[in-house]
Structure 1
Amino acid sequence: MTFKIAFIGAGSIGFTRGLLRDLLAVPEFKKIEVAFTDIDPKNLEMVTQLCQRDINENGLNITIQSTLNRREALKNARYIFCVVRIGGLEAFKHDVDIPLKYGVDQCVGDTLCAGGIMYGQRGIAAMLDICKDIREVAERDCLLLNYANPMAMLTWACNKYGEVNTIGLCHGVQGGHRQIADAFGLKQEEVDIICAGINHQTWYVQIKHNGKDLTNDVLTAFENHPEFSQTEKVRIDMIRRFGYYSTESNGHLSEYVPWYRKRPEEINKWIDMGTWINGETGGYLRVCTEGRNWFETDFPNWMKEPAFTYSEEERGQEHGSYIVEGLETGRVYRGHFNVVNKGVISNLPDDAIIEAPGYVDRNGISTPYVGELPLGCAAVCNVSISVQRLAVEAASHGDDQLLRQAFMMDPLVGAVCNPPEIWQMVDEMLVAGEKWLPQFQMAISEAKVRLASGNLIPVKEYNGAARIKTKTIEEMQQNREEAKKNAGEADKAMERPAASK
């Protein structure tokens, strides 16, 4: 088979190298065209060298088209993988540190809450430009496979305003699936699940083993698990209150709802410091920073290590390659995808981006009817969807009033801040992100005037309830294997250390 796949943001080593391995493990895909593009020439060059070395050592006659010219990479592409981080770690730091001054303590800040909303403003502006290029130069009826966060907001904007067929992909469902199997002492492949909701707030509404329904036994299984009972306190409490396990990690989930991070003195009761994903303040920013620094420093050693093996046995669980395989070969694949609802989940809005079961074959991607979510689960999702809709419209139209309303409606921001504090925080975040927010030029000019007036609400220098210092290269060298795994993995919390004591 010959067709073209393009990677946008290909300098992201964690996703690009693994996704390419998964794609080229498909026997029929040995002659496809591959294009990489990024705005960072150094990262693009390093990742291209590494991936080309993998290709060569697997005996394939494929030469990566590596270019800073996005339109050249997209030209005639049938599938586009988007793995961008708009604003990079520089902007990500603002997403975490500015809200802390107002008492908003985030673990991740890339999906909802103050950080996720601003990440969406940057991302949507860029994605709409990307979609324009796709419409003009890519293969007609191509598919955009979006791995970038905030997943729901970006996928929503691309489908509605970008006019490009876009599906959002995440490994959260697979991660929770592994945990559920572990909690019951089973293998992942022995447990069948149905998960439905919205990205990072998807609910395991059905769990079965050999035909036996285990859904109502999940709480007991997690409460009795020696590890999860300590590391997943937020998620366990959500099962107690809402009846179902949620896909996203303890740290992620804690910042999507108003109850677990609203008072600094209570945060440590709900989180665990064994690994960042369990709730560490700014944890994802820390591990991403460490991973980038390690890759840039240690890259020459990566080129000396064994290449990836392109085989079914080494293939990962990311959905992307299986979707392309299903569409091209007709092999049926079942996964959980982020798509426009269109009535699939009947008590969530039709225009929202939902995460639900999907099937892929040569006829396309099909999402079966789910029906109603349990009422409480739907209520949690609907609050987030309201924030997402406001944020999408704000970013797409450069409307800072809608942006401020998104902040007000956000569960954790609203639990911590009053309206004047929110207005000032948004001013600060707009000004800090100016170079990535072209749609807000006028609003940023006005925000600068207000911030320079001197008539400001006092804020505090606050490092968060559970912050850990970013490791230096010297400190990471003490455990090179751990540093390399962090830098190279797309899922930076797949293997989790034991709970802290």
Structure 2
Amino acid sequence: MSFKIAIIGAGSVGFTKKLFTDILCVPEFKDIEFALTDVSEHNLQMIKAILDRIVEANRLPTRVTATTDRRKALEGARYVISCVRVGGLEAYADDIRIPLKYGIDQCVGDTICAGGILYGQRNIPVILDFCKDIREVAETNVKFLNYANPMAMNTWAAIEYGKVDTVGLCHGVQHGAEQIAEVLGAKSVKELDYVCSGINHQTWFIDLRLNGRPIGKDELVAAFEAHPVYSRQEKLRIDVLKRFGVYSTESNGHLSEYLPWYRKRPDEITRWIDMSDWIHGETGGYLRYSTETRNWFETEYPQFLEAASKPIDREKRSNEHASHILEALETNRVYRGHFNVRNNGVITNLPQDAIIESPGFVDRFGINMAAGITLPEACAATCIASINVQRMSVHAAISGDIDLLKLAVLHDPLVGAVSTPEEVWQMVDEMVVAQAAWLPQYAHAVPAARERLSTSQVKTREWAGAARRSVRSIEELRAEKAALKQAG
């Protein structure tokens, strides 16, 4: 087989390498072309050197090109994969820093909440530019695979306004299933059969079977509470399981910021999180992790390049959906996964226009969703609160309506649990002014926002958050890795 895959945001080096090696685990795909594009020429050259080394080491005819000219990369592409972070870590730091001044403590801030909503405002104009180029120069029946957060907002914009055949992809479901299989004592996650449905990062395991035997709430709660690690790391998640009756896919830290109950007061935050790793609820945890990862990669690049000389091990193909979807579409080998698509009746008690994450099957006829799923009422209620925020956020990003943007932030569950309307109005003004370089649709609103900030009487505070850690130096990271290697 010979076709072209374009990867936008290919400068996300580690993730691009994973997608690349996964796809090349499919024997029929050895003769395809990967076209890499990114705004960073430096990152592009690093990832191209790594991928070229993989091709050479495995004696493959695979072609790899790299260009900052996105349109050129998209020409003739059958598949387009996006893993962009618009604004980079500079804008992301403001997504965390500014809301903290108003008492809003986020662990990740890339899906909803104040940070995720502004992240969507930066992404959506760029997503629509991608879609315009895709419509004009890619293959006629091109499929757009979006990995970039905020997943639901980006996918919503690409489908409704970009008019491109789009599916959103995430790995939260797979990770949650691995946890459940472990606590239940399964030898492999393959022993677990499950239906997981909802919206991205708020997906629920509504049907669980271990080797065909149904698993109920009480058994699952007992299994998690007995686990020596998860009982400590997933306290909030276990509490939601007890109250809702079903387990959420999302990590302790992620889930905590989509709900109005657990991060509303500093003392409550420290009660529910665990500091053994950023993903369990640390203030700005993903920002710290991302910063350390970038610094580590820049410093240790020669080692990453050397590691690329090893043969591809097909047994280590990851559970990221992209390679499996492409394999199913091109070879007709059926793949079952969980995909982000427009609802259109798939989940009976969520809005039709929402982007849902739910089970589907892929073959040469496309992605076919399992329809007629009904969520437990509490799960649906929680999802609908986020969907309403996502809808307003998408419409604000399209229209450049700063008042609608403020209303979207006001209706966010965690923001509403912490902040007053006056605080929200000022916070959004501050974030729009700080991120104006990445928000062209709000250029007309920036001068007035800046003027309001100069005369505002709303008080803020400089606050690091309830559980903030400093970014570790390369030396500290090296020492930690050496200690872990020695211990294990």
1:204 is displaced (CA, Å) by: 0.1
Does the 8 Å CA contact 1:394/1:402 hold for their aligned counterparts? yes
Alignment-derived partner of residue 81 in structure 1: 81
| Contact kept in structure 1, 2:74 and 2:80, CA below 8 Å | yes
Q: Residue 201 of structure 2 corresponds to which residue in structure 1?
A: 200
CA distance in structure 2 between the aligned counterparts of 1:127 and 1:190, rounded to whole angstroms: 38
Count of equivalent residues: 485
RMSD: 1.6
Instruction: Note closer, same or farther for the CA distance 1:390–1:147 as it changes in structure 2 (3 Å cut).
Output: same
- 1:34 matched to which residue of 2? 34
- Could you tell me which residue of structure 1 aligns to residue 216 of structure 2? 215
Matches within 5 A, 1:77-116: 77-116=77-116
Structure 2 residue matching 1:115: 3-state secondary structure = helix
Q: Please identify, of 295-304 and 159-168, the stretch whose mean Cα deviation from structure 2 is larger.
A: 295-304
Q: What letter matches 1:188 in structure 2?
A: V
- DSSP 3-state at the match of 1:128: helix
- Hey, what's the Cα distance between the residues in 2 that align with 1:100 and 1:406? 18
Q: Which residue of 2 aligns with 1:457?
A: 458
Residues 84 and 148, structure 1, Cα contact 8 Å, conserved in 2: yes
Residues 479-494 of structure 1: matches in 2 within 5 Å? Answer: 479-480=480-481
The answer on whether the counterparts of 1:145 and 1:167 sit within 8 Å (CA) in structure 2 is yes
Q: 1:304 aligns to what SS in structure 2? A: helix
Cα distance, 1:218 vs structure 2: 1.4
| Cα gap change, 1:481 to 1:350, in 2 (>3 Å) | farther
After superposition, what is the alpha-carbon deviation per residue over 1:190-228, rounded to whole angstroms, capped at 9, x for unaligned?
111110000000000001012110033212211222211
1:307 Cα deviation after fit: 2.8
* Residues 425-436 of structure 1 aligned to structure 2 (within 5 Å): 425-436=427-438
- For the Cα contact (< 8 Å) 1:476–1:483, is it kept in 2? no
Q: In structure 1, what is the Cα distance between the partners aligned to 2:178 and 2:362? A: 22
State the match for 1:134 in structure 2: 134
Give 2:151's aligned residue: 151
Structure 1, residues 79-122: CA drift from partner, whole Å, max 9, x if none? Answer: 00101000000000000010000000000000010000000000
Gaps of 5+ in 2: none
What is the identity, as a one-letter code, of the residue corresponding to 1:128?
A: L
Q: Give the deviation of 1:301 after TM superposition.
A: 2.4
Q: Using the alignment, how far apart are the partners of 1:15 and 1:483 within structure 2?
A: 23
Aligned residue among 311, 326, 342 for 1:340: 342
Pairwise CA distance, 1:483:
11
Q: Write the mapping of 1:57-76 to structure 2, written as runs, cut at 5 A.
A: 57-76=57-76
Unaligned runs of 5+ in 1: 485-496
Distance 1:192 1:308, change over 3 A: farther
Equivalent position of 2:249 in the other structure: 247
Do the aligned residues in 2 keep the contact of 1:78 with 1:138 (CA within 8 Å)? yes
Alignment match, 2:373: 371
Q: Distance in 2 between matches of 1:272 and 1:309?
A: 38
Misfit runs of 4+, over 2 Å: 304-312, 479-484
Q: TM-score, normalised by structure 1?
A: 0.95
Distance 1:401 1:335 in 2: 38
Secondary structure at the residue paired with 2:362?
strand
Q: Is residue 400–residue 443 contact of structure 1 (8 Å, CA) maintained in 2?
A: yes
Shift of 1:474: 2.0
Partner of 1:410: 412
Instruction: Give yes or no for contact 1:294–1:483 (8 Å, CA) kept in 2.
Output: no
CA displacement at 1:312 relative to structure 2 = 2.2
The alpha-carbon deviation at position 261 of structure 1 amounts to 0.4
Q: Residues 274 and 466 (structure 1 numbering): CA distance in 2 closer, same or farther, change over 3 Å?
A: same
Give the distance between the partners of 1:145 and 1:337, measured in 2 at CA. Answer: 10
How many Å apart are 1:253 and its aligned residue? 0.3
Q: Which amino acid aligns with 1:162?
A: G
Q: Percent identity?
A: 56
Q: Is the 8 A contact 2:51 2:308 kept in 1?
A: no
Report the secondary structure of 2:144's partner residue. strand
For 1:187-336, list aligned pairs within 5 A. Answer: 187-216=188-217, 217-336=219-338
Aligned to 1:491: none
